Amino acid sequence: MPQSRFTKMKMTGLNVVVPDYPRSIDEDISEFDNDPVKLARAKKIVGYGTRYPCPPGLTPADMALAAAESLIEDLKLDREEIKALLCVIQKPDYSQPGSSFFIHHRLGLAKGCACLDLNQGCSGFVYGLWLAGGLLESGAVRRVLLLAADYAPSPNLRSRLLFGAAGAAAWLEYDEAAPESFFSLGADGGCYEDIITPASGARLPIRADVLDLTVEDRQGGRVRLIDDYLDGLEVFNFSVREAPPNVRGLLDYAGLKPSDVDFAAFHQANKQIVDQIAAKSGLTKEQYSTRTFSEYGNQSSASVPGVLAHVLAERATRERLKVILCGYGIGAAWASCLTDLDHIHCRLIKKKFDDLKSREEVIAHWVRRISQGK
């Protein structure tokens, strides 16, 4: 698996925005046969608690934009100095072009800023850091704005219970005195069907023959081919099989032991998976947390930064911490990073989103745009 060491990348700021529309798992007790005992068991094993879903009309690009705007304001950044915008968004506003161009426009960035979209999920933030590190290390750019955002719009309620929504923005700079950052990445394309939206692209375009086609999965859930499909057992298996050796290999590559790490921010798939991965990686319960899943849900590509902003923000602001960042999921892909957070700006923001456009308004916009032009 590719392993990399960068010495010129420093993260100076990280903001995470969560749409402030919380929903408790207690409101979904019907999904547990209205049985308080079953619900209590699910809370204990899986870690269900509260999640923050999106209201209609809110997209990952909107949340990434909000995170970016807040970070630019907090750090008093000069927008003209942003030379690379990396967006990790696997549910873009449109299949083409990528959401980075919408965000570039709304942020008012210069025409000399490069835009790149990464169609990555739960490992995406670490993949984005890896790409940013390469850009900075090579001297191609001196500043990178990295965004990651996702949500779970699928009406398949069984999987929706796991997911929350969030957008993250990280500011990365070229710095000769930056701490070393180590990366280890991997993938198994043979697992690509385990998390997928079957009818969504060129292989199976959305047509009338799939709109109402519903299939019963092995757990008795009803899944449409136009919805997100998640094979829970297979996802669990590859997560606990692949992530721990990736973390252990990263530590070996850096010449460190698990005890040298102050904190590990794992993708918050669910409590059970995170506990297994951490234990198999040789970490103690004091070195990681599953609180973010229980309090915000699985935030996909924004999950790893979500843990930092939720659990570690106060410490990261006033201390220098050696941390592991580990993501794993759709693809299947996994990626780990070992770096230092050195007195960075870091905060989590709960935000109400006003003036969201309805579906009818978006349709009307495109009717006008196509019929009348700009």
96 and 50 share one domain? yes
Measured N-to-C along each axis, helices 303-311 and 124-138 cross at an angle, to the nearest 10 degrees, of: 90
84 and 38 share one domain? yes
224 and 271 share one domain? no
What pLDDT, in 10s, does the model give residues 153-184?
666 667 889 999 999 999 999 999 999 999 99
22: domain CATH number is 3.40.47.10
Residues 6+ positions from 237 with CB-CB distance below 8 Å? none
7 and 126 share one domain? yes
Q: Give a yes or no: residue 371 inside a domain.
A: no
Nearest to 118, CA basis, from 157, 91, 153: 91
99 and 27 share one domain? yes
74 and 208 share one domain? no
What is the domain range of residue 27? 3-184+234-351
Three-class SS of 89-102: CCCCCCCCCCHHHH
Nearest to 148, CA basis, from 68, 233, 55, 78: 68
165 and 253 share one domain? yes
pTM of the model: 0.96
Peptide bond connecting 60 to the previous residue in cis, omega within 30 degrees of 0: no
What pLDDT, in 10s, does the model give residues 69-116?
999 999 999 999 999 999 999 999 999 999 999 999 999 999 999 999
Phi and psi at residue 283, to the nearest 5°: -100, 150
What pLDDT, in 10s, does the model give residues 131-141?
999 999 999 99
Nearest to 187, CA basis, from 145, 232, 126, 129: 126
Q: Which residue has the higher pLDDT, 229 or 165?
A: 165
146 and 170 share one domain? yes
Residue range 3-7: average pLDDT? 97
160 and 91 share one domain? yes
Q: Give a yes or no: residue 363 inside a domain.
A: no
- 49-58, 154-163, 200-209, 345-354: the lowest-pLDDT one: 154-163
Domain count, the chain: 2
- 80-84, 150-154, 249-253: the lowest-pLDDT one: 150-154
